[in-house]
Structure 1
């Protein structure tokens, strides 16, 4: 049996080449709450009730034992490239047309894999509007298309589902009945191949979202600059930031130990939000639970950086950092290359947010940002994936 083993100050990180050598990735997080357990009702975005839901004892996540070491993650195949990617452009949206054309040119998306659609310019699609979009994708995208980039910031939802999960997994009406309940597991979470549409019949999706055409072009250039850029002589830093907010800091039990992975040129750093350094150099990843992250300008992002925060409505992309809960787009505007946020009240189930170690270790195996983020979320029905999907800093040169 072949293994890639990296010494970690007396511990070891093993990336198994064969899946059966380790427990399934889905077992890294425990089962959902027992049937009949109390869950708080969903609340509208920005309301005080929404904040109390995430802080309610009733919204506690599935029980998870603290992680004291690095996970043992199966070897993942990858990565997706422009030859595998379909691109959707909304001709009703000048941003979408400009960004889509720029992305197609810069990434070399084949013309046969570009689909122009007409969608309303608003945050959420109705189910009927989404079904029409989904039918167009099914009819026009060939079997070689394994994943999708949608070149717009809105719409980002389908009723109470995220548009990226609905496009990949189908619309989940049960989420709208009880948004705090467990949602449909993603087959991609435990998938190890590189052709998800061929193997699973789903296309993981990501929004090429930004607040302006210029910001989107800069995002795309960061993704391109990231390719094959790591490891380097100077380590990249992954920041795992705990906070005093217990409800939003539930992912801290999944943080790895502060340690060095020399073979990958990575430093895992555990920080407290109350004592962050004046500068955060060479940031490749940040995972935190702050509803709003102050001082984003202190972070020196590497091209291809991933960042997200566990809060109720980070996926409402029209929100901005002047509001109580910041949008996932604030990460991208500050220089990150991909992020994730939920579009309806999820409560703080760990399975509804990126598992920080799976995200980092998937990325470090050479996968793209789109693949790494999709691998890290077990129940993505309410979560929207945003950024430059093909960024792959650890991918070996062709």
Structure 2
């Protein structure tokens, strides 16, 4: 059985009819079950793409851009990105969405998912990447809800919203592109790779696009601020170990890499091509050092922080955020709109391996991310691929 088929967990029509009957009965019981039931019915009814598409001839043809017409910033960023990447107007969707971090379930389905799906169906070419622009909501339904980006990415997956973290649920929510070792195509994997151009200021978003265009295949440095190693198989120990593995693998490829294993939180001494730290979850976190991190064009980053993408607007206090890294010059970074647990964090061992082998920004982050329909979002131009000129055969077009 292929990875994609296993990820979808195909079921027969009688199975889903039985599920619907159980949901209708449960909807009479309590509001929470009614909410989950309505989302499941929508997921079961969501049609998969049926019309064969021609393969995109250029990177620009792989992209669909979504602009919020109620946001001048969204319009500016979307138009600028489309111009810089040569994206045809037919690949731009303009929607009137709430000017808020959150969007309700019904508004999400009718105001975002349905028109995006219709736009994709209307195009003769296969769409692989969806780019959301600043001003598009980041969270669905409630304060600790799901990521808009993640839910849009998996809009064709006929699986219910997660309500548990046992092995059965985790197998259902395994990203079909996780740990993939070749280029992405939506008709093969059944999802879209959704990224966004979001920031604290429009100027930061435009600079984000410029850095993607200017990115070159620098030999490093890559900088990982690990916590001191400790024994155990908990989420902390396992995730921390991945930093050591990532450093070892990059070193084997001849890439410049530095891993800090001291108990302090230290900024790298020079601009980097890759960065990972525990952010404010580091017991010795230093906000000044965090804001001193600088990046080369094309640099990617991940921070192991639960709410690093909870908002891109002004805040007081709380955990460290990725919006600061965007202002400091990163080109791509992953964040979380609410508690994702360590299992959802981008695996740096996969992330940077794929990137330096020629994968795009979007392919690298999604290959490194285990979950679908969850709390994640990825910042950056999905087409950014500074190492593409050195592609290994597995990532050749």
The match for 1:315 is: 309
Of 102, 105, 115, the residue aligned with 2:80 is 102
Of 224, 237, 241, the residue aligned with 2:221 is 237
1:301 counterpart = 2:301 = no
Greater helix content? 2
The match for 1:55 is: none
Change in 2 beyond 3 A, CA 1:290/1:80: farther
Other structure's SS at 1:285 match: strand
C-alpha distance after superposition, 1:205-241 (max 9, x if no partner)? 0011011111111111111111xx114xxx3111121
Change in 2 beyond 3 A, CA 1:396/1:128: same
1:140 counterpart = 2:119 = yes
* Bigger relative contact order, structure 1 or 2 (CA pairs below 8 A, ≥6 apart): 1
The match for 1:126 is: 104
Tell me, in whole angstroms, the C-alpha distance in 1 between the residues paired with 2:268 and 2:138: 32
Tell me, in whole angstroms, the C-alpha distance in 2 between the residues paired with 1:111 and 1:237: 38
Contact 1:168 1:205 in 2 (8 A): yes
Change in 2 beyond 3 A, CA 1:375/1:212: same
Tell me, in whole angstroms, the C-alpha distance in 2 between the residues paired with 1:275 and 1:80: 45
Change in 2 beyond 3 A, CA 1:393/1:263: farther
C-alpha distance after superposition, 1:171-221 (max 9, x if no partner)? 87534x458974711111144443422212321100110111111111111
Change in 2 beyond 3 A, CA 1:262/1:240: closer
Of 354, 379, 385, the residue aligned with 1:362 is 354
Tell me, in whole angstroms, the C-alpha distance in 1 between the residues paired with 2:267 and 2:321: 23
The match for 2:148 is: 163
Tell me, in whole angstroms, the C-alpha distance in 1 between the residues paired with 2:179 and 2:363: 12
1:346 counterpart = 2:340 = yes
How do 1:146-295 and structure 2 match up within 5 A? 146-159=128-141, 160-170=145-155, 174-175=161-162, 177=163, 182=170, 184-226=173-215, 229-231=216-218, 235-243=219-227, 250-256=238-244, 258=247, 266-272=255-261, 274-275=263-264, 279-291=268-280, 294=287, 295=289
1:148, distance to aligned residue in structure 2 (A): 0.6
TM-score (ref. length: structure 1): 0.71
The match for 2:61 is: 83
Change in 2 beyond 3 A, CA 1:391/1:284: same
The match for 2:363 is: 371
Contact 1:289 1:311 in 2 (8 A): yes
Tell me, in whole angstroms, the C-alpha distance in 2 between the residues paired with 1:92 and 1:178: 36
1:324, distance to aligned residue in structure 2 (A): 2.3
Of 386, 390, 396, the residue aligned with 1:393 is 386
C-alpha distance after superposition, 1:288-333 (max 9, x if no partner)? 1122662234333110111121122112123657522022212111
Contact 1:314 1:343 in 2 (8 A): yes
Runs of 4+ in 1 over 6 A off after TM superposition: 244-247
Tell me, in whole angstroms, the C-alpha distance in 2 between the residues paired with 1:223 and 1:278: 23
Greater strand content? 1
TM-score (ref. length: structure 2): 0.71
C-alpha distance after superposition, 1:336-357 (max 9, x if no partner)? 1111122222233xx3010001
Determine which structure has more spread, i.e. the larger CA radius of gyration: 2
Tell me, in whole angstroms, the C-alpha distance in 2 between the residues paired with 1:336 and 1:207: 14
Other structure's SS at 1:223 match: helix
Tell me, in whole angstroms, the C-alpha distance in 1 between the residues paired with 2:309 and 2:201: 17
Contact 1:99 1:217 in 2 (8 A): yes
Structure 2 runs not aligned, ≥5 long: 4-55, 391-396
Contact 1:179 1:345 in 2 (8 A): no
The match for 1:7 is: none
Other structure's SS at 2:350 match: helix
Tell me, in whole angstroms, the C-alpha distance in 2 between the residues paired with 1:302 and 1:265: 18
Tell me, in whole angstroms, the C-alpha distance in 2 between the residues paired with 1:331 and 1:80: 30
Contact 1:259 1:267 in 2 (8 A): no
Which is worse superposed, 266-275 or 196-205? Answer: 266-275
